């Protein structure tokens, strides 16, 4: 995105109207990236609105337990149950295990995908060989989304009410040149360090 385009968007482009609110009451709500930022804020809000069961999905269980304490402290009167689950999106095995566990839930009303990986060096996922942020932020998010949609769809059909999947992002994503649309092997191009430098 060029600077003039950025200014134009800031002055004249307005966000789409939000859909009708969905009450988190009686809902199971998994939130990835729930230990900081938007994810933590969303978790606190869900507790404030008396969600039935909040599921912070975290890479590190001990940090997740600290997050749980923080979330509950934000509204000590809430009856929300907070259940910390393990999820490391650098590993497909972890995504599959989490997804299968989600499918064991009878209902799922809302899911919030907020997890992100950002590293200054060039580490690769030891499981897939793809660069860590590419694996965690994109390649693992796709199957995770499919797992969640199955349960969200089932819940919506059975209870005849709207369910919601939200993936957080940033307007900064619009600023990055989309050269990846031209190569025949897009994943190979995305996994190239020169391309990664442009993305970050």
Helix, coil or strand: residue 26 = coil
Q: So where are the chain's domains?
A: 23-169, 172-200
pLDDT tens digits, 97-110: 999 999 999 899 99
User: Which of 37-41, 75-79, 170-174, 180-184 is predicted with the least confidence, judged by mean pLDDT?
Assistant: 180-184
Do residues 57 and 51 touch, judged by C-beta distance below 8 A?
Answer: no
138, pLDDT greater than 90: no
pLDDT beyond 60 at 186? yes
The answer, yes or no, to whether residue 199 has pLDDT greater than 60, is no
Structure token digits, residue 75: 């509204």
pTM beyond 0.85, yes or no:
no
Tell me the average pLDDT of the chain.
84
The SS3 assignment for 13 reads coil
Taking only the tens place, the pLDDT of each residue in 140-163 is 999 999 999 999 999 999 999 899
Q: Is 71 exposed, middle or buried (0-12, 13-18, 19+ CB in 10 A)?
A: buried
Whether the per-residue pLDDT at 178 is higher than 90: the answer is no
Say what the pLDDT of residue 1 is.
Answer: 59
pLDDT at 69: 94
So what's the pLDDT on residue 11?
A: 81
Q: How far is it, in rounded angstroms, from Cα 64 to Cα 44?
A: 14
Per-residue pLDDT at 2 exceeds 60: yes
CATH of 23-169, one of 3.40.1280.10, 3.40.50.620, 3.40.50.720, 1.10.10.10: 3.40.50.720
- pLDDT over 90 (residue 64): yes
Residue 84 is predicted with a pLDDT of: 97
Sign of the four-CA dihedral 139, 141, 142, 143: positive
Helices (H) and strands (E) in the chain, counts: 8, 6
Residue 77 has pLDDT above 90, yes or no: no
Average pLDDT of span 120-141:
80
Q: What average pLDDT does this structure show over 73-83?
A: 90
Q: How confident is the model at residue 200 (pLDDT cuts 50, 70, 90)?
A: low
**What pLDDT does 137 receive?**
81
């Amino acid at each position: 995105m060029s600077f003039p385009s950025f200014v134009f968007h800031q002055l004249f482009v307005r966000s789409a109207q939000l859909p009708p609110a969905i009450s988190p009451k009686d809902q199971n709500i998994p939130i990835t990236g729930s230990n900081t930022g938007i994810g933590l804020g969303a978790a606190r809000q869900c507790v404030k609105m008396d969600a039935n069961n909040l599921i912070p999905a975290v890479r590190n269980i001990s940090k997740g337990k600290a997050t749980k304490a923080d979330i509950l402290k934000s509204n000590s009167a809430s009856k929300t149950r907070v259940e910390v689950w393990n999820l490391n999106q650098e590993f497909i095995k972890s995504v599959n295990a989490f997804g299968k566990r989600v499918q064991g839930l009878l209902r799922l009303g809302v899911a919030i995908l907020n997890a992100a990986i950002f590293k200054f060096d060039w580490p690769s996922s030891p499981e897939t060989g793809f660069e860590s942020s590419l694996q965690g932020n994109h390649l693992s998010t796709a199957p995770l989304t499919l797992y969640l949609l199955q349960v969200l769809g089932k819940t919506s059909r059975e209870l005849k009410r709207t369910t919601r999947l939200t993936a957080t992002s940033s307007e900064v994503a619009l600023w990055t040149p989309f050269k990846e649309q031209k190569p025949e092997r897009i994943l190979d191009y995305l996994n190239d360090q020169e391309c990664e430098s442009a993305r970050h």
